Structure 1
Amino acid sequence: EINAAGGINGRPLELVVDDYNCNAEDSITAYRKLTDVDGIKIILGTSCSGAMLGAAPLAEEEGVILFSGLATNPDIAEAGDYIFRTSLNDILVGIDTGNTLWADGVRQLATITESTDYAEGVRRTTVEQFEKRGGEVVAAEQYASDVTDFRSQLTKLVAAQPDAIHISAQGEFAGGTVIKQLREIGYDGPLYSEIVPAGTTALEIAGDAATGLKAVFVDLDPANAKGQEVLGNFRARYDYVTLPWYLGSAYDDVYIAAECLKQTGDDQDADGFRDCMYAITWSGAIGTDYSFDEKGEVVGLSNVVVEILPVAERTEENYGYRVLGPAPTE
């Protein structure tokens, strides 16, 4: 779209892509290739929090921009002056989830969490807020990303007789499978999660087992014409949409980057790009009039609580859930 409209001051925008495999070690390898071989000074990414935390110290030391639409781990906020994100800090997700649990009458909680920086960050901040409100965690399990059978761990959680179970997953396959297997072993209590187990792929795997699950995340406003246009165009091209807010977030990041490149006129001027980011106020697919604070954290966006619908009521238009409203406060 940008190039079709004339590019950046008449010059086409080119993406140089490398794969970091969602982990810190490969992220460093990809970063070194992009910066040392390709001479890149402005990087859109990473998507995974662990990868972001792996590359961020190098980017900060060398004055290279990292700008993520998806990484949410709380530690990224302290990564430095060249690190930005449109994704909301997991601290906010945790506070909102902890408050939601408490408001719903949950007093004893069990958790199951994928062993990644993202998923563990969500769990940690959720538990901190839940315990602050007076709640108790009665059981907690973790799993590696290559696990596909969670029944033994889930049986331990159910045996603790919690009021509810919280799921924090990195991948949609695992998130959906955890939900499905929980119902298969006979657990019929409330389920809560972050955005991943509420994604399209996760819901396809979980089926009706996910009905009633509550999740806390940022969501695209149906009244935001740009957001709906982006989703419509994406679906028309790929015939599939999952995690729509993050799709919009990545989309906005490209346009914000284009605007700052237009202002600096130089893709090697990371300092000028950084200064543009601190000064910019943006309206796009994920919201209107949002900006970045002194830590590169997005300001002006907030979470909602959603509830997963029965399979018969899930459509492309509603993504399988209904929005209950803003997350409760203390």
Structure 2
Amino acid sequence: MRTRRRPFSAQRTTDMGGGVWSVPVPIPGNPLGYTLVYAVESPGGPVLVDAGWNHEDAWTALRDGLAAAGVDVREVRGVVVTHYHPDHAGLAGRVREESGAWIAMHEADAALVRLIRSMPDGSHGDFQAEMMRRAGAEADADEVRRFERPDPPAQPDRELRDGDLVDLPGRALRVVWTPGHTPGHVCLHLEGADRLFTGDHILPGITPHIGLYPYDRQDIDPLGDFIASLKRVADLGTAQALPAHEWAFAGIAARAAEIRAHHEDKLLRLRELMTECADRPLTIWQVAERMTWNRPWSELIAVQRGMAAGEAAAHLRTLESQGAVRREPGAPGDPVRFITTSH
């Protein structure tokens, strides 16, 4: 039976057994509430799985939460980041400053961190606005400029690949590459303990955001990658999932099947929507406006609409790879438009 997500104020550092501790770290101003950072003990010092958001309140929670587990943050050996998002990688750099710890991340996300850190100040808003215009947005493209981007995460010292063992003396913590939520998202299999740190790949009560950025890319299929990654972790047969949000749970294969069914249903409904609009091609923005979200489109702010458009683009890209929709030719600079291939 699933339990309700508890607020951060109700969270505590928890001994998960077997030399693994769960430390809740708040995400200020975010409905997710907190990230679960895990400390894994070893004879060579503890290794953290993720680190939390880069904020003073989050740092205090991490430091004090580790202390409650008997870990001095200055003793941390390393931080392995499941993916580059700020609620996971944000404090990794500060942990490194305090302890001299290494930071490890999959090579695909490490490349994104390099790209983000190389962007001039203020250019991120311009990039977002241009991307939204190419999707067919109008007023929202200018509105998104006023939202500040979080500081980029620290560049990792070590880059991981699928199947690598994390530097954790006396224990086997193996990288399982699970692209989709980000290109370099990884789960971490604690072999011999029948546990899987799932990051955002599989969560017990919600599904991760799967978006395509820029929206009109044709060289990748993040939703297709995500669905394939769900099968990979389901096949591990691991008894316990230790996710980055919500709560630990058993039955990874069953939860993976639920998430896959969710996206297959969403793809089916999108095919139906595109068939209903078969007389005219639609921009990505027009498709997003017609899809179902957790709130009406009119109530979403510009950033939320941008994320919805990213998810719509990812689902359109999967349908395109399946031959169910195609792009209509247009003039240079025009927003990309899709139309069904069904007749």
The structure showing larger relative contact order (alpha-carbon pairs under 8 Å, at least 6 residues apart) is: 1
TM-score greater than 0.5 by the shorter chain: no
Report the TM-score when normalising by structure 1.
0.29
Greater helix share, structure number:
1
